Chains A and B, each alone.
Chain A
C-alpha cells in the first residue's frame, strides 16, 4: 500500500503531459474560440442595408435555406485574403452568402466591393459594431454557418481557405441538407 502511492505522481504527471500534448499534435490554435452561439438562434438586431437600392436582411430572411454570414471590412487585411474564396462560393452557388460589413465607412466598403467583386447576395452594415458583439465576433473576418431554421451551426474565425471550406463547412452543409430531405 505504502509503495503504490508513489505511482500516483507519475500517473498525474503523464496525465497532465497527455492533456497538454494532444492539442499540439492536433495543431489546434488555442486562440481560436468556439462560438457561444452554436445551436442558438441568430441575434435579432435590425441593421440597414449597405446599398441604398438593395435589400438588407434580418433573422427572418435566414429561414428556409442554409446561409453563410461573413463579417468583413474594407480595412481588414485578412478579408482581402479570403475574398477569392467568397467569390468562388458565390459563382459556384455553393451556398447562400450574406455579408455583414463591420465598422466600416459605407463609401469605402462599396469601393472595395467594386474593386474586388461583390460575392454577397445581401449586405447589411454594422456601423458601430454592436451587432458583431451580439454575434460574439472578436475579430474580422468571421464566418457563420446558419441552418434553415435560423440557428448558428458553426463559426470560423479568420480568413476562409479552400481547406476550411472543404473540410469544415461543406461537410456540415451536406449534413444539414441531407436532414432536410428526410
Chain B
C-alpha cells in the first residue's frame, strides 16, 4: 500500500511540471522580465506566415523563431510596440498582424457583424408585429365556434 502511495506521489509530482507545450525556448528569453513579458504579448499578436493560423509565440517554424528573436532584439534596443508592428507590416503586409487593423479596407470586417445584428433585429420586430396582427385580426367563424363547443363538450363527458 505504501509503495503505491509513493508511486502515486512520484507521478503527481511530475504532473506539476507538465505545462502547455511552448515554442519559446529558454535561451530565447530576455533577462529583463518586463521586456520579456512585452515580447510575449507582441509575439502572440504576430502571425507565423509559414503556419498561418498560429502566432509566432506558438509556432516552432524557423521563421517564427527568427521573428521572435527579431522582436526581442528590437525591444532591447528600445523600440516601441508600434515601431515593431510597423517594421513587420512594411515587409509582410497587414496579414502578419493577428488583429486586423481598423481601416477602410477592413470596415466590412469590423462593422459587418453590427449590420447583421441590426438587420436581424429589424426582421424579428417585423415578423413579431405581423404575427400579432394576424392573431387579433380575425374572430372565430360560426362553424369554428360550433366545432369548438363540440370538442369542449366531449372533453367534459370523459
Interface residues of A (CB under 8 A from B): 2, 5-6, 8-9, 12, 31, 33-37, 103, 128-130, 133-136, 138-139
Residues in A with CB closer than 8 Å to B89 are 36
Q: Give the CA-CA distance A37 to B90 in the complex, in Å.
A: 8
| Residue contact A8 to B63, C-beta cutoff 8 Å | no
Task: Name which of B34-42, B91-99, B134-142 contacts chain A.
Answer: B91-99
Interface residues of B (CB under 8 A from A): 49-50, 52, 62-63, 66-67, 70, 89-93, 95, 119, 122-123, 126, 130
Residue in A35, A36, A138 whose Cβ sees the most chain B Cβ within 10 Å: A138
Question: What are 30 A-B contacts with C-beta separation under 8 Å?
Answer: A2-B126, A5-B123, A5-B126, A12-B119, A31-B52, A33-B92, A33-B93, A33-B95, A34-B93, A35-B93, A36-B89, A36-B90, A36-B91, A36-B92, A36-B93, A37-B91, A103-B62, A128-B66, A129-B62, A129-B66, A130-B70, A133-B66, A133-B67, A133-B70, A133-B91, A134-B91, A136-B91, A136-B93, A138-B49, A138-B63
Residues in B with CB closer than 8 Å to A5 are 122-123, 126
Task: From A8, A103, A139, give the contact of B119 (CB < 8 A).
Answer: A8
| Residue contact A139 to B91, C-beta cutoff 8 Å | no
> Given A133-B67, A134-B91, A136-B93, are A6 and B123 also a contact pair (CB < 8 Å)?
yes
In the complex, besides A9-B123, A34-B93, 19 extra interface pairs with C-beta distance below 8 angstroms are A2-B126, A2-B130, A5-B123, A6-B123, A8-B119, A33-B93, A36-B89, A36-B90, A36-B93, A130-B66, A133-B66, A133-B91, A135-B91, A136-B91, A136-B92, A136-B93, A138-B49, A138-B50, A139-B49
